[in-house]
C-alpha cells in the first residue's frame, strides 16, 4: 500500500512464496504442519534475521560477543527429538521450559503469554512531534518523489500519524522503519555514494605485488 505505481509495476509478478520454495527441503511437503513451521523459522527467520540482524550485528557493533546456551548443538538435537506435545501445549509456548523452571520462577512469569522483544519503532524517530533532520529529509515529499520507491501521499499520511503519536500496531511501525531504511540505503549507497578509486588502486597494487612474490 506504500509502494509507488512504478514500483508496483516492477514487482507485479514477483511472488515471495516462489522464492521461499526454492530454499525448502525437497521432503518439506511430507513434514507434519508443526514441523513445517519449525523448519521455516529455523532455516530462514532465525539465522538471517534474529541471530544476525538482531543478534550478532547489534552485539558486535558494541564490542559484545554473545554466547547463547540454548543454541548449543546438543540442546538443539535434544529438543528436535522431543514430541510436539512437549514443545507447545495448545497455545502455551515454551511449555517444557516453564515446567523445568516452575520452582524457580514467579507465577506471573510462568502464566504470561510469550512477548517479542521490541525496540520502540516510530517513537524512536518522533518525539513530541519532532524528528531528527535526516528523518525529516528522507521522509519529505520531495525526497520520496525523487527516489521513486514509495507513494508520497501514503507516506505523508503515515508520517503525520507517527508525528501525532497515533501509531500503535506492528503494521504501521514496520512500514515506517522499512520506508526510512530504504530511503537511507538509497541516499548512502546510490545518491551520495563515493567510489574511492585511490583505495581500489592500492588494493590492486597489493594484489599485483602478492602475485609477483608467488
How far from each other are the two terminal CA atoms of the chain, in whole angstroms?
57
pLDDT digits (tens, 9 = 90+) for 71-93: 899 999 998 898 888 888 888 88
Query: Is there a single domain that holds both residue 129 and residue 102?
Result: no
Give the residue from 85, 111, 137 where a domain finishes: 111
Beta strands in 22-105 (DSSP E): 88-89, 92-93
Which of 155, 159, 168, 149 has its CA nearest to residue 125?
159
Half-sphere CA count of 10, side-chain side, radius 13 A: 8
Q: How many domains does the chain have?
A: 2
Report the distance separating Cα 209 and Cα 214, nearest Å: 9
pLDDT digits (tens, 9 = 90+) for 136-175: 999 999 999 999 999 999 999 999 999 998 887 889 999 9
Query: Is there a single domain that holds both residue 86 and residue 142?
Result: no
pTM beyond 0.75, yes or no: no
With beta carbons less than 8 A apart as the criterion, state whether 168 and 123 touch.
no
Q: Which domain holds residue 44?
A: 16-111
Query: Is there a single domain that holds both residue 57 and residue 127?
Result: no
Q: What is the mean pLDDT of the chain?
A: 87
Amino acid at each position: 500500500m506504500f509502494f509507488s505505481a512504478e514500483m508496483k509495476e516492477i514487482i507485479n509478478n514477483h511472488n515471495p512464496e516462489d522464492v521461499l520454495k526454492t530454499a525448502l527441503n525437497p521432503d518439506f511437503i511430507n513434514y507434519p504442519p508443526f514441523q513445517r513451521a519449525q523448519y521455516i523459522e529455523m532455516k530462514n527467520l532465525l539465522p538471517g534475521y534474529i541471530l544476525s540482524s538482531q543478534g550478532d550485528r547489534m552485539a558486535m557493533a558494541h564490542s559484545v560477543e554473545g554466547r547463547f546456551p540454548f543454541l548449543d548443538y546438543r540442546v538443539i538435537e535434544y529438543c528436535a527429538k522431543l514430541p510436539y506435545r512437549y514443545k507447545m501445549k495448545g497455545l502455551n509456548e515454551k511449555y517444557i521450559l516453564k515446567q523445568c523452571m516452575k520452582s524457580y520462577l514467579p507465577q506471573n512469569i510462568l502464566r504470561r503469554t510469550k512477548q517479542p522483544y521490541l525496540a520502540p519503532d516510530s517513537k524512536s524517530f518522533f518525539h513530541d512531534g519532532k524528528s531528527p533532520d535526516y528523518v525529516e529529509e528522507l521522509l519529505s515529499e520531495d525526497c520520496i518523489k525523487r527516489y521513486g520507491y514509495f507513494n508520497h501521499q501514503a507516506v505523508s499520511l503515515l508520517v503525520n500519524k507517527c508525528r501525532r503519536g497515533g501509531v500503535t500496531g506492528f503494521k504501521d511501525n514496520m512500514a515506517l522503519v522499512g520506508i526510512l531504511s530504504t530511503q537511507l540505503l538509497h541516499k548512502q549507497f546510490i545518491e551520495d555514494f563515493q567510489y574511492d578509486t585511490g583505495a581500489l588502486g592500492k588494493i590492486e597494487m597489493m594484489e599485483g605485488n602478492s602475485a609477483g612474490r608467488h
